[in-house]
Chains A and B, each alone.
Chain A
Amino acid sequence: MSSRKKVLLKVIILGDSAVGKTSLMNQYVNKKFSNQYKATIGADFLTKEVMVDDRLVTMQIWDTAGQERFQSLGVAFYRGADCCVLVYDVSAPNTFKSLESWRDEFLIQASPRDPDNFPFVVIGNKVDLENRSVPAKRAQQWCQQKNGIPYFETSAKENVNVEQAFQTVAKNALAQETEVELYNEFPDQIKLTNDQRGGANRNDTCNC
């Protein structure tokens, strides 16, 4: 497993609309924030190179539209994801409530090999707001119930904790990726049958 080849990690951000998925990604990748709300259509991704345990990996972060459900994106989009980031808005209890169904939907669509241990990261965004209404304790409790999902409270606006959250995303995604590689380590099978398509000697039994 000493393969030092370039690693591409596919990370998908999910959550209700207007919880700040796009803002988090923009803050993390571009270090920019805008107060204006613009709904994401379909899905869009940005890439960022990060160091994880002295290994350079490329994170491909997919931002999705929270307004629609999965139909428009299809199974193929979720396949091969290495980590899923679930985002909610600490000032909107309903967005926290939806986390469960976002997680369920993701698992069904992506159907990872080991659903119980697939790396998720939960982010409670907008901690800069005054009217916080989901207690951190409640969110932590939920994460604990789900096999100990790492939990971060961030503010994409004030760049609080964003870097840390995504560093964890990268680390856990890499761990997952490594595990998948292990599965694929078996060499290609060697075919003993002669599989020359369309060869003129198709009917011959001898290859000389």
Chain B
Amino acid sequence: MHDAYEATAILKKLPLQIESIASFVPDGGSTANLLLGTKVGHLLLYEIDLKKGDNSSVRLLQSVKNFSKKPIIQIAVVPQYHILICLTGYPDNILSVHDMTKARFPALSVVERTRGCHLFTLHVTEETSQTGVVSVIVRLCVAIKKRLQLYYWKNRDFHVLREDLCLPENPKTLVWSGESIFVGMRGGWKEYLRISLTGESEDLFPVGTDGEAKIVAMGQGKIGLMQDKKLVIIKSDVFMKSDVMKSDGQPILDSVTWTDHPVAIECDGPYLVGVMSTGVEIQTIEPRMIIQTLALACESREKPKLMSNCQLGLVFLASNYDVWALKATPFNDQIGQLLRLKQFELALRLSEFGTYVDGEREKLVQYIETLHAFDLFCKFNFQDAMSIFLVLDIDPSNVIGLFPDLLPAVFQNQLNFPDKVPELRGHSLENGLLALKDYLVEVRNRLKDNRSKFSLKPIAEGSTTIRSKEKLLQIIDTTLVKCFLQTTDALVTPFLRLQDNKCHLEETERALTKFGKLSELVILYKANGQHRKALFLLQKQAKRPESPLAGTERTVSYLQHLGQDHLELLFEFSTWVMLENPEDGLKIFVDDVPEVEQLPRARVMSHIRDKAPELLVPYLEHVIFEWKDESPALHDTLAERYQATVQALQNAVGPAGDRLNECRKKLKKFLEFSTCFTPERVLMRLPAEGFYKERAILYEKMGKHDRALAVYVYLLEDLPAAKAYCQRIAKLGEKTAAGEAFLSLLKLMISPPNASVLGSQVTRLKHEENFCADAGLRNAIQLLEEHPTCMDPCQVMKLLPSAVPLEKLFQFFKCNLYHLSKSRKELQLLKGLNYSQLLQVHVQRMELQSQKIVLTELRTCPGCKKRFISHCAFAHYPNGDLVHYSCMEKYENLKL
């Protein structure tokens, strides 16, 4: 608790009994004035200047004797109009208005209608018109028995505002708030009532069993109603429905309990001041607490009974013969006290009431909130502390500094904190780090969002803040890694992988190493482009069986994703894998990963040939058969490797039959499959003897059909294969090539070729000497009969020896001629058909060309509903619609 108010007795033992009190600051003045109405009808006006110590001055400005012949039971002042409203007591009970500018306050008017009045309330508001003129509106409510009269002030007199309002019972107390009047009833009724100016009334709730009705206007649309020892606060402008009148629901906002029945209550800024028989009690609503209890120095043993709030921070109290002033300690001093007491919520509330120069209030609020957050942190309420830090834009590096061992020592030493930072360990450290982690992720998001401004405030005066966004992000990210390491280490990997991660390399490296997070270390290196370091680490760890990075797997996948930009590195570190585990080593270059597929294959090939030649064939096989690579260099190399293997196996001592066959099969398959190798080069490397099938395929690829056929006929002695070869060529569709192939075959059947046809390598034709001309001729005639349409008869005639009897060729010629005439007829037919089609198209074209569109003045575009002026582009739809070219899109949408 702090000292919010100080009570000073300003008038002691007055000879006259005080009946009523009013206080005000005169229009244009600065010192408080106090008016006292007495039982005998005297009116006293004091000027009160409260200063520190005993320098307070109390000066009697006027003493108006015989102001009234009756007791003055209620007075009120409107300083803006310099008027005093006075209610004099029994037997007249009438309201009069007095001019305060003149000595002895002569009466301006007596409101005759108010005869019998026992209570009144004023409602004064200031309204600023659009032109900036401030007008003060004064309204008056007078209670006469069970009626309320309403007046307004105009031309220095009160005028009737509306017809009277009726009450079920005599009111004890009245307060005008906004467009409603709150009434506390006396007698048997004892209820609070709300009457709006439109005449609607609403019962609120009972006054309570003991105690009198009391109503306090609290400003900001709130009103307090006393119920027993409790002040119930409700919204003044919302009708309460009985069904929502629960203590926790709206519109009951709050309630304040007093230690005793207050005689009077006033609302002074953030405080509620209650006067009770024991003294004065000061309370606040937010936060709800009793701030101070004051005992009043009292010599006459009279209890205080009246109270008047003069201005913010100054309240007068009066008993029958004494007057006290309650003066609030300056708000800034109070805030200072509260901060020492760590009552931040109240300090914040007070900061709303002090007077400050531009921007000072914001600074103060920031300061209080920062201290509050820091205090929450010290109480280990990390989450709330962090959310305040976030709202306040406190430099995250300062917040990080609250935790041990997160910032580099150099930086940590530049930080100041409002107080000693508590030592965190164990469970509280973990909770703190969890909150820090959430906080930092959020800060990080905000920093990345370029729309947000970047202005950070220190956690305490003199603490260093970071001005570079980059550097700050680096600190945040590095700290986040440390947080994750200590709380949820499964998030370290995803975090390091984030593309916008700005972790400080060495610092993070140290942290990860400390926690033995090797796998994460690799990711860190990778994210920072430190591939050599990463790969080196992987290589080192691969041989340690207990390491999480043991084996070649991690290196393989790392290298697979490295891509062609780091080829040198890739080659360097793939070598040990290939030697260690050839199968895995091969994976580096052949796996189904986009980066791997895009590696430059020629360079990879030479790398593999240098470092692990045994992997060359599997690599090339994958590249050629799986990825369908078509570069001749690769194909040539593979062919060469196959040949070399086959030859090596052939030359090898001992049985190698199965492997040899397999290899030859592979070679053959490859030669048949591939179209990209250079057959000449392969041919050159073939040994002089053997490899006939391969040779035939190579000749075929080279397009040297006669040689290929010669191999089939004379070296392999496989006529069906030769025929199949010709048919294969015929199937490819090239008629002349097919005809030539058949003719070559025919020629080969009739007479053996000379050795040069088969190339210099093949020196000897098998069975050349026992060539049988008869058999050859038989085969030739059979070929003619089987494929009569494939060969040109003139060429055939030239080839056949003249000794062949013509009848043997009968079948051939018959088929051939038949075929020729057939194709001729087909062509004639086709010609006729084409001609008729041509004619039809002509007709169609003429029809289309004869179409026209007539544009008249009356034709409008369905798109824009405008006419077609000359020289405009338009579109014509098949259904006859005509629109502007520019309206086309609109029109089409319209149709949809």
Contacts and interface: CB of A to CB of B under 8 A. Distances in A.
B430 to A, nearest CB: 14
B488 A72 contact: no
A199 B437 contact: no
A114 B438 CA distance: 15
A108 interface: yes
Contacts of B289: 198, 202
B590 to A, nearest CB: 15
B448 interface: yes
Contacts of A75: 438, 441-442, 445
24 contacts: A71-B446, A71-B449, A72-B449, A74-B442, A75-B441, A101-B499, A104-B497, A107-B491, A107-B495, A108-B441, A108-B491, A108-B494, A111-B488, A111-B491, A115-B490, A115-B491, A115-B494, A138-B592, A198-B287, A198-B288, A198-B289, A200-B259, A200-B290, A202-B290
A93 interface: yes
B258 interface: yes
Interface in A55-111: 69-72, 74-75, 93, 100-101, 103-105, 107-109, 111
Interface in B433-450: 437-438, 441-442, 445-446, 448-449
Nearest to B480: A108
A147 to B, nearest CB: 10
Contacts of A115: 488, 490-491, 494
Given A71-B446, A111-B441, A199 B490 contact: no
A185 interface: no
Nearest to A145: B557
A171 B464 CA distance: 51
A100 B289 CA distance: 54
Which 5 residue pairs across A and B have the least CB separation, nearest first?
A198-B288, A104-B494, A71-B449, A115-B490, A107-B494
A126 B289 CA distance: 64
Contacts of B259: 200
B594 interface: yes
Given A111-B438, A111-B441, 8 more contacts: A71-B446, A72-B449, A74-B442, A75-B441, A108-B498, A135-B592, A198-B290, A202-B290
Contacts of B442: 74-75
A200 B283 CA distance: 10
A197 interface: yes
A70 B442 CA distance: 10
A197 B286 CA distance: 11
B288 A69 contact: no
A4 B446 CA distance: 40
B121 interface: no
B498 A74 contact: no
Interface in B494-517: 494-495, 497-499
Contacts of B446: 71
A115 B489 CA distance: 9
Residue among A69, A71, A105, A199 with the highest chain B CB neighbour number at 10 A: A71
A137 interface: yes
Contacts of A200: 229, 257-259, 290
Contacts of B498: 101, 104-105, 108
B550 interface: no
B256 interface: yes
A74 B290 contact: no
Contacts of B441: 75, 108-109, 111
A104 B495 contact: yes
A34 to B, nearest CB: 13
A113 B487 CA distance: 10
A108 B495 contact: yes
Nearest to A103: B494
Given A101-B498, A105-B498, A111 B437 contact: yes
Residue among A107, A115, A135, A198 with the highest chain B CB neighbour number at 10 A: A198
A18 to B, nearest CB: 20
Residue among A75, A116, A138, A202 with the highest chain B CB neighbour number at 10 A: A75
B517 to A, nearest CB: 15
Contacts of B490: 114-116
A116 B493 CA distance: 11
Nearest to A141: B592
Contact of B257 (A101, A114, A199): A199
A100 B557 CA distance: 15
B262 to A, nearest CB: 12
Residue among B257, B287, B494 with the highest chain A CB neighbour number at 10 A: B494
A193 to B, nearest CB: 15
Contact of A137 (B448, B488, B491, B592): B592
Contacts of A114: 490
Nearest to B494: A104
A74 B289 CA distance: 37
Contacts of A135: 592
Given A93-B594, A200-B259, A74 B445 contact: yes
Interface in B414-458: 437-438, 441-442, 445-446, 448-449
Interface string B456-498: 0000000000000000000000000000000010110011011
B497 A101 contact: yes
A114 B498 CA distance: 19
A103 B494 CA distance: 8
Interface string B232-274: 0000000000000000000000001111000000000000000
Contacts of A202: 289-290
Nearest to B487: A111
Contact of B288 (A101, A105, A111, A197): A197
Interface string B275-314: 0000000000001111000000000000000000000000
A169 B494 CA distance: 22
Nearest to A70: B445
Interface string A176-203: 0000000000000000000001111010
B292 to A, nearest CB: 13
B256 A198 contact: yes
A112 to B, nearest CB: 9
Nearest to B257: A200
Contacts of B491: 107-108, 111, 115
A118 B166 CA distance: 69
A125 B491 CA distance: 28
Contacts of A198: 256-257, 287-290
A137 B593 CA distance: 11
A120 to B, nearest CB: 12
Given A197-B288, A198-B287, A69 B448 contact: yes
B436 to A, nearest CB: 12
Nearest to A93: B594
A114 B259 CA distance: 53
Contacts of B494: 103-105, 107-108, 115
Nearest to B259: A200
A138 B560 CA distance: 14
Nearest to B441: A75
A75 to B, nearest CB: 5
Interface string A125-148: 000000000010110000000000
A72 B448 CA distance: 9
A200 B257 CA distance: 6
A171 B494 CA distance: 25
A131 B197 CA distance: 76
Interface string B577-600: 000000000000000101000000
A15 to B, nearest CB: 16
B593 to A, nearest CB: 8
A202 B257 CA distance: 11
Nearest to A118: B490
Nearest to B500: A69
A69 B446 CA distance: 12
Nearest to B496: A104
Contacts of B287: 197-198
